[in-house]
Structure 1
Amino acid sequence: IPSREYILLHLETEGKPLPFQAIARRLELHDPEVLEALRRRLRAMERDGQLIRNRRNGYGPAKKMDLVRGRVIAHPQGYGFLVSDEGGSDVYLSEKQMRSLMHGDRALVNIVGIDYKERREGALVDILERNVNEVVGRFNYRKTSPISLVKPDNPRLCHTILVHNSQHLQAKDGQIVVVKITEYPTIDNPPIGEIIEIIGDQRAPGMEVDIAIRTYELPHQWSVETTQELKHLPKTVSKKNLNTHQDFRHLPFVTIDGEDAQDFDDAVYCEPRGKGWLLKVAIADVSHYVKPNTALDQDAQKRGTSVYFPNQVLPMLPEALSNHLCSLKPHVDRLALICELAIDFYGRTRRINFHPAIIQSAARLTYDQVAQLLTGNPTSFPHPHLIPHLENLYQLYQLLLKRRRKRGAIEFETIETKILFDQHQKIAKIQPVIRNDAHRLIEEMMLAANVATAEWLTARAIPTLYRTHQGPKPEKLSELQQFLNRLGLKLGGKEQPHPLHYAKLSEKIQTRPDVRMIQTRLLRSLQLATYQPDAQKGHFGLAYSTYTHFTSPIRRYPDLLVHRAIYHCLQNQPVEQFFYTQHNMEKLGEHCSMTERR
């Protein structure tokens, strides 16, 4: 049957909606099986928001009917916005339009005008996909009524959920419960649900994490199939792997991470080469163990990313992989995919190679250990034989940092915090985490590997995910400029600022007492970074024309997809035979962008 693209092109040329039989005649399709396949395709295109079906059952392209499809972002005050799949400004949805919608739903809306803030305003046409299945909230038992209430804990879920008293599992008033939605809201009626789990009293130890896991529907249990697959994985790297992986165990790779890290994604090694440097960034070879469409892969895709709580981790991969078989622990053989960069005297990458490899990390170093060494205190460093190699890395870091600043990448020095708990799982202390040169060194090496990977894959035109970041939208830029004017400041670039303009302003305000507030406003003016299969959109904040994520496949699913694309190219397979199509990557990009924000 004709492709989606051909059907859309045909309907756009037609200029008016056509019923199913008319479409079949135009496409000269007569066989009953083919007609049924066409009917299913049209329904799928309608479900995905590519087509809209009118009251006369005529199909037309959504784009041509002034319709916008996207994901709903609800506001705690009741109104919301539709973030368009095609980009551009968000569509404002009034409180009335939001009555039938819940946060995260995918919907199709009609543009009905411009509101008083000059925003596009939409009216709901169709709900394409429901996002919320279960809700965590506080139970409000009503003795004098057959119906009780559950108030969602998530402030973006504005609907109070009705629960019949015969379906509340004997929950007590004020307890935290999980409700399964059985009837979604309409313009006239609130949602209805049934309690499926009683989490407990709000003040119980660890309750905050339990609430967060369920509020944001974070997957936290492995499927039975995944548990079975884990039993068949090897415990160690074997000699057989030397048939497919090059032996790099003679090189003193090191990992540099936080003191409490368990999943070591990356190890680095650097040596002088002529007037430049040869950098090797070794990344855990997760793709060797996690194959497409396996249960392990499906669970990893569903999670999308590891989620880090102050005293708990929901890993993207089971601990047997994330903390053991894939983790680049010291003095044990591990499989890795090495990105090898030949970098010249000016910090430019001149050659990019990838090597499936077996490595053995020489040491598990912490940021504080390396920072003390770099600031001139080598006496307490526990691995003196590695000092020359770390000095090589530091010299390359200083070269790359100069190039970064010349490029105009935006640098905001934010203060992260670490939460310490007492024996009752209550917060005992919140302390700042100070970034030092060791943090920045590793960050710069990872950036170099990521941008090199993006360039290498772009040249091979294989479907993959890129990390894209766009500049400020016009309305956000206008708000920022008005804010800066009141402070006597100015952002260069007028209506089209470049990253360098942001970087120069950020440098200028460093001595001001309100520097944190200004940096926050600068950050909020920028769009959120997303995953898309478009290499040309680039990364505004980092000032790269193309960029991807390659360095963390243990904890980010897009990185695993990038590794699979690299291996497909290394095996000299035709792009057309790659497991993923461009359409697959579009869907995966949207999913992975969602999982990192939920």
Structure 2
Amino acid sequence: MSKENTSGQQDPHAQREADKYENPIPSREFILEVLEEAQKPLRLYQVAKAVDVDEEDEERFEALSRRMKAMVRDGQLIRNRRGAFGLLKKMDLIKGRVLGHPDGYGFLVPDEGGKDLFLSEKEMHKVLHGDIVIASVIGEDRRGRQEGAIVEVTEHNTQQVLGRLNHEDGLSWVRPNNNRITQDIFIPKDGLLEAKEEQVVLVEILHQPSARSGPIGKIIEVVGDYMAAGMEIDSAIHAYGIPNDWSDELIAELENIPDEVVEADLEDRKDLRGLQLVTIDGADTKDFDDAVFAKRRKNGWRLVVAIADVSHYVKPGTELDKEAYKRGNSVYFPQRVVPMLPSKLSDGLCSLNPHVDRLCMVADLMISEDGKLEKSQFYQAVMNSKARLTYNQVNDMLTNEKSEYREEFAEQLSNVEELYNLYKVLKVARAERGALEFETTETRMVFDEDRKIQEIVPVVRNDAHKLIEECMLMANVATARYLKWHKMPMLYRVHEKPMEERLKNLRTFLGDFGLTLEGGDEPTAHDYADVAAKVEGEPHEHLVQTVLLRSMNQAVYQPENKGHFGLNYEHYAHFTSPIRRYPDLLIHRAIRHVWSKQGVEKFDYTENQMVDLGQHCSDTERRADEATRDAVTFLKCEFLSHRIGGEYEAVVSAATNFGLFVELQPLFVEGLVHITELGEDYFHYDNARHCLKGERTGKVYRLGDRIKVQVAQVNLDDRKVDLRFIESLTEHAEPAVNAEDNDSTDAEKPTEEKAPRKKRFYRKKKRSGSKPKAD
């Protein structure tokens, strides 16, 4: 079925609309096509005529009107002041999401990709972080960035805000904990809910901000006192919109799932309960995704990687699936986890706990003498983990002949030793492949009984960590190959090659050390590894490794396979953590569909759907990273607030145009040494060389330098630590920057120099009745 309009055009989706509606109207695609053809905005009656909808047919005309309004709401069209509908691209308009910055300005991230649009502080007063808007390009700012003006807000995405209540001069307002929301929310007297000043409250926004007034809300919950234990995590959960409640429908669905594996679940499964599979995880881990077993064979090894069979219990379209998709991943805060799945599954039925039967998906791999994957087989099974081992226990078993754990886990010792022998081979293969392996220092917080930080200690990665990592990498590679062979729509874990501009800056930096990055415009991980090998054991080893890392892109999930640069794999996917990552669950479903032999076209997901799923999962991953970083930063700032005046050695972790970020030793807490602290000189920032250099003295401060500092001030609200410079502890033997090479410009600077925020309260109060921040 096709429907022609008055000019002879046909609606390409007429049949689809006829199948959905008794009295169908033109499709959105057809309306866009008509407006494209018209080459000008059209009023509603003109659109109706063009798509052959009679104004006398009130029902169809009204349905068309509703569809056009919906297209405006969804950002497909814009309605001008004359009431005519036009195409965004024809009117030089851009639709996207607002990204707020703590300093008051923001950016519009376009839906269609491309460079972000800078939004001034004035424009940001009309919106909140996360809103979907349509904006026009109005020129460039002083740093050469495209600047925008908001034309219309199509969707307000912030309905509730967590923040601290303040009173002054008879007015009340809440300052949001999310520092990307820089507007305070005015609270009328009838919306205070008996909350006390300085308490953390949850606010429902009644009136969204506009050009003339700030946001207005009412308090719907008093969460607790500002410095209460765990408040930083509650704040991060609300600030970043992390789902944290289970719906009644999900709980009801969960009740229909048995507490243990039942006999009916074992049908068509391989029985691996006699195999010496073990889990090796951190001491505080509760959800065990993976178990491993290795056996030496004549020409190599057999490696069995058994993964929790989450896809058996979480089916597409169920409440469990909808919630897992929404969360995207588990979020790991200090001493608290927001899981992707309810604890009945994540810590219980799906967790490969010791000495209980569990359903699993198995990657059964044959690995050659030189550590290459030769064959792989995937099947569903039932297993029974023989031991729950920790990294430290395994490392002690492998490195200490008198270890108590060798006796305690005597039955598992041979398996552990075989795994270790296999790891040694895989480690050599990794080096030959050129995969990158930079040693970074992770930390763990030790809390006292009041949940205050007692100390911050480094976490040492031992061979047991690396052993499990190599096993998981091998299973993930086998999975990607398997699904690619079967031409299944899937999410690859993609790590693209570094961008041209970053490579240029990297080579400039390396040149100061007499180093060269080979590979031209497309260097490989092998080329990166060669540079890292040349500085091994040198004083500047950590500095060079850090800059190599910062030159690379972030990994994402997407259906287009572009390989994994850092690991130097052509095909790579995430298979090993379906309890805590939604992409892994999708991979399991794809494998299960291959077994069904129903054909790719019968799979629950298309290639186009995978694009959206990949973007969503990448976004939730970033959201989790930002939320945990926010909570950890607050805890570290609170820890340091009790050490004002303390003097510490510190290592420069980043150089910017406004100063140096340094990490205090041995506290592992980061703070800022402002540029004005560095001495009586003009210091210039060199983006390529990651350093500041004094114009008169030639003094250079760069990544990895050691300095001595004093804690001057801690701002818990802004998560900032200000440090006073005492002295430099690093002397550069070689010139880090030649004066004639110092050609940095404002356009290269990552952020503007920090300046005290203007106090606008009394001016704004009269105009809008709102209470903005006043530092």
Is 1:566 the equivalent of 2:598? Answer: no
Higher CA-based Rg: 2
CA contact (8 A) 1:252 1:361 kept: yes
* Cα root mean square deviation, aligned: 3.2
| Pair 1:542-2:555 in alignment | no
The answer to whether the Cα contact below 8 Å between 1:12 and 1:61 also exists between their aligned partners in 2 is no
* 1:58 matched residue in structure 2: 85
- Higher mean alpha-carbon deviation, 165-174 vs 89-98, is at 89-98
**Displacement of 1:585 after TM fit?**
2.8
Aligned partners of 2:51, 2:486: CA distance in 1, in Å? 35
In structure 2, how many angstroms separate the alpha carbons of the residues matched to 1:12 and 1:410?
51
Q: Within 2, Cα distance between the matches of 1:456 and 1:221?
A: 36
Relative distance call for 1:493 and 1:249 in structure 2 (3 A) is same
Q: Which runs of structure 2 are paired with 1:318-467 in the superposition (5 Å)?
A: 318-375=342-399, 377=401, 379-380=403-404, 381=406, 382-467=408-493
CA distance in 2, matches of 1:271, 1:24: 72
Which of the numbers 306, 318, 322 marks the counterpart of 1:298?
322
* One-letter amino acid matched to 1:447: L
The alignment partner of 1:596 has SS state of helix
Q: Does 2:157 correspond to 1:131?
A: yes
- The answer to whether residue 336 in structure 2 is matched with residue 312 in structure 1 is yes
The aligned counterpart of 2:37 is 14
The alpha carbon displacement at 1:159 in A equals: 1.4
Q: CA deviation at 1:221?
A: 1.9
Q: Is the 8 A contact 2:96 2:111 kept in 1?
A: yes
Of the structure 1 ranges 352-361 and 95-104, higher mean CA displacement relative to structure 2 is found in 95-104
Q: Structure 1 residues 469, 334: CA separation in 2 closer, same or farther (over 3 Å shift)?
A: same
Distance 1:372 1:364 in 2: 15
1:359 is displaced (CA, Å) by: 0.9
Aligned to 2:189: 165
Q: Secondary structure at the match of 2:580?
A: coil
How many angstroms apart in 2 are the aligned matches of 1:480 and 1:164? 54
Q: Deviations over 1:253-302 (max 9, x none)?
A: 11100111110000112223441333221110111111222222222222
Query: Which residue number in structure 1 is paired with residue 180 of structure 2?
Result: 156
TM, length-normalised to structure 1: 0.89
Question: 1:15 Cα shift?
Answer: 7.8
Specify which of 212, 230, 235 is matched with residue 236 of structure 2.
Answer: 212
TM-score between the two structures when normalised by the length of structure 2: 0.70
Contact 2:309 2:359 in 1 (8 A): yes
**In the alignment, does 2:528 pair up with 1:505?**
no
Separation in 2 of the partners of 1:378 and 1:29? 86
Question: Once structures 1 and 2 are overlaid, which stretch shifts more, 243-252 or 362-371?
Answer: 243-252
Give the Cα–Cα distance (whole angstroms) in 1 for the partners of residues 268 and 51 of structure 2: 49
The 1:98–1:479 alpha-carbon spacing in structure 2 relative to 1, beyond 3 Å, is farther
SS of the residue 2:418 aligns to:
helix
Residue 439 of structure 1 and its aligned partner are, at CA, apart by 0.6
Q: Is the alpha carbon distance of 1:90 and 1:369 closer, same or farther for their aligned partners in structure 2, counting shifts above 3 Å?
A: same
| Aligned partner letter, 1:104 | G
Taking the aligned partners of 2:124 and 2:422, their CA distance within structure 1 comes to 53
Maintained 8 Å contact 1:11/1:17 = no
Aligned counterparts, 1:517-528, within 5 A = 517-528=543-554
What is the alpha-carbon distance in structure 2 between the residues aligned to residue 463 and residue 44 of structure 1? 31
Question: Is contact 2:435–2:566 with CA below 8 Å preserved after alignment?
Answer: yes
Quick one: which amino acid aligns to residue 578 of structure 2?
Answer: P
Which amino acid in 2 is paired with 1:60? L
Deviation at 1:355, TM superposition (A): 0.5
Question: SS state of the match for residue 464, structure 1?
Answer: coil
Aligned residues: 594
Distance, in Å, in 2 between the alignment partners of 1:29 and 1:540 is 54
In the aligned structure 1, how far is the partner of 2:80 from the partner of 2:428? Answer: 58
Q: Retained in 1: the 8 A contact 2:133–2:154?
A: yes
Comparing 74-83 and 45-54, the one that deviates more: 45-54
Amino acid aligned to 1:470: E
**1:576 to 1:486, Cα distance in 2 relative to 1, 3 A:** same
Amino acid at match of 2:394: V
Which of 581-590 and 470-479 deviates more? 470-479
Q: Does 1:554 align with 2:579?
A: yes
Alpha-carbon distance in 1 for matches of 2:368, 2:428: 13
Could you give the per-residue CA deviations for residues 92-140 of structure 1, whole angstroms, max 9, x where no partner exists?
3333333333323344444454555444444434444433222221211
Please say which of residues 107-116 and 548-557 is displaced more in the overlay. 107-116
Task: Check 1:481–1:138 CA distance in 2 against 1; reply closer, same or farther (3 A cut).
Answer: farther
Q: Is the 8 A contact 2:36 2:87 kept in 1?
A: no
Q: Which moved more, 1:380-389 or 1:489-498?
A: 489-498
Q: Note closer, same or farther for the CA distance 1:53–1:436 as it changes in structure 2 (3 Å cut).
A: farther
Amino acid at match of 1:73: L
Matched residue type, 1:459: W
Distance 1:91 1:510, change over 3 A: farther
Amino acid at match of 2:182: C
Match in the other structure for 2:198: 174
Residues 184-210 of structure 1: per-residue CA shift (max 9 Å, x gap): 222332222211111222222332222
1:141 aligns to 2:170 (yes or no): no
Contact 2:79/2:85 (CA < 8 Å) preserved in 1? yes
Query: In 2 relative to 1, CA 200–117 (structure 1 residues): closer, same or farther, beyond 3 Å?
Result: same
Q: In the alignment, which residue of structure 1 is the partner of 2:497?
A: 471
CA distance in 2, matches of 1:138, 1:54: 40
Question: Structure 2 unaligned runs (5+)?
Answer: 1-12, 17-26, 624-775
Q: How far apart, in 2, do the equivalents of 1:535 and 1:312 lie?
A: 35
Q: Which moved more, 1:402-411 or 1:549-558?
A: 402-411
> Given the superposition, is the C-alpha separation of residues 507 and 47 from structure 1 closer, same or farther in structure 2, using an over 3 Å criterion?
farther
Q: 2:35–2:86: 8 Å Cα contact kept in structure 1?
A: no
- Secondary structure of 1:141 counterpart: strand
Task: Call closer, same or farther: CA 1:528–1:425 in 2, change over 3 Å.
Answer: same
Matches within 5 A, 1:33-112: 47-49=73-75, 57-60=84-87, 62=89, 67-112=93-138
- Structure 1 294/85 Cα, relative in aligned 2: closer, same or farther at 3 Å? same
Deviation sequence 1:495-516 (CA, Å, 0-9, x none): 4443333333333344344544
Paired residues of 2:32 and 2:87 also in contact (CA < 8 A)? no
Q: Is the 1:310–1:420 Cα contact (8 Å) retained in structure 2?
A: no
Quote how far apart the aligned CAs of 1:542 are.
Answer: 2.3
Query: Which residue does the alignment assign to 2:748?
Result: none
Report how far residue 593 of structure 1 moved: 2.1
Deviation at 1:395, TM superposition (A): 2.8
Instruction: Tell whether the 8 Å contact from 1:89 to 1:473 is kept in structure 2 after alignment.
Output: no
CA contact (8 A) 2:295 2:302 kept: yes
Q: What SS does the aligned partner of 1:334 have?
A: strand
Contact 1:419–1:427, Cα closer than 8 Å, also in 2: yes
Equivalence for 1:283: 307
Structure 1 residue aligned with 2:290: 266
Q: Is residue 2:217 matched to residue 1:193?
A: yes
Residues in 1 aligned to 2:566 and 2:46: alpha-carbon distance in whole angstroms: 49
- Distance in 1, matches of 2:140 and 2:179, equals 27
SS at match of 2:295: strand
Structure 1 residue 156 displacement after superposition = 1.5
Once the 2 structures are TM-superposed, how far is the Cα of residue 356 of structure 1 from its aligned partner? Answer: 1.1
**Rounded Cα–Cα distance in structure 2 between residues aligned with 1:401 and 1:473:** 28
**3-state SS, counterpart of residue 187 of structure 2:** strand
What is the distance in 1 between the residues matched to 2:420 and 2:396? 13
> What are structure 1's unaligned runs of at least 5 residues?
none
Name the aligned partner's letter for residue 616 of structure 2: H
Tell me which amino acid in the other structure corresponds to 2:247: S
489-498 vs 547-556, greater mean Cα deviation: 489-498
Following TM superposition, by how much is the alpha carbon of 1:337 offset from its aligned partner in structure 2, in angstroms? 0.8
Residue of structure 2 equivalent to 1:588: 613
